[in-house]
Homo-oligomer: A and B are copies of this chain.
Amino acid sequence: MRANELPEVRHLPLFRDMLQANFEQLMQGAYAQTFPTGVELIRQGDPADFLHIVIAGSVEMYAEWGGRTCTMAVVQPVGSFILAACIRDAPYLMSARTLEKSRLILVPSSDLRAVFRRDPEFAVSTITELAGAFRSVARHAKGLKLRTSRERVAAYLLKQSRQAGNVESFVLGVEKRLIASYLGMTPENLSRTLRQLEGEGIRVNGQQVTITDRHRLMAVAPPDPLIDGPDGPGAGVGMSLPPPSTASAKPREKVVSPTGFEPVTH
């Protein structure tokens, strides 16, 4: 593992309050690895051997059943995933694959369980993290049950705009088919819905989305912190998609990885 990676991990909400000695012990048992695009990191149903931390790149969490697939979340640096499975020493509920070349740190889940038993600060951090993750999925489930797909799309756009700093124009950081799957609809349906929403205060051009009439869009789906997450940039994650980039879409140019700040779970 590279030396310059540790401080980043150390500053994660999950690890920032623990004793240095314990942190070092955790990292001693851990190892880092870089994966190319499209690698299946974990497979749902497998035993939870490692907590995964994304240092660079991005990872899609998805679930499968009977031949169908759906995206549950996209994890970006610096974020961790499948904490709950590690803790309960239970099979993963989701699979994960790299969406691009990515670097991860893998922490043995047995070490994890051992450490929070003797480091109260780490235990509290874990509790806070898990409570946030729970609330995040609960909100997601609420959205799926209480909103139509049109409303989910509108709310999603408003949330992305908000996370980008309430700018009028932003770039979807993820392929539309992933967004569609995350929102529980087909790509075709998302495409049509976006088109339809162009009469409701937005303009879409490829990855570039412009909100021309925020008030109008909010009328389609009034934002609700109890579904969309708390206000302010840097909010969200857990079971969500990454924050959008503020920059304009620039064809022919490597897009800079969206800010990379650490979103907080609530």
Residues of A within 8 A of B (CB): 44-45, 63-66, 68-70, 72, 83-85, 87-88, 90-91, 93-94, 116-118, 120, 123-124, 126-128, 130-135, 137-142, 144-147, 184, 222, 224-227, 230, 239, 266
Contacts and interface: CB of A to CB of B under 8 A. Distances in A.
A126 B141 CA distance: 22
B142 A90 contact: no
A146 B64 contact: yes
> For the complex formed by this chain, how many copies does it contain in all?
2
Of A124, A130, A133, most buried by chain B (CB within 10 Å of CB) is A130
Given A63-B146, A90-B135, 17 more contacts: A65-B142, A65-B146, A65-B226, A72-B145, A84-B134, A84-B135, A88-B132, A90-B230, A90-B266, A91-B225, A93-B139, A116-B123, A127-B130, A130-B131, A130-B134, A134-B137, A141-B239
Contact of A65 (B88, B90, B224): B224
A140 B141 contact: yes
B226 A91 contact: yes
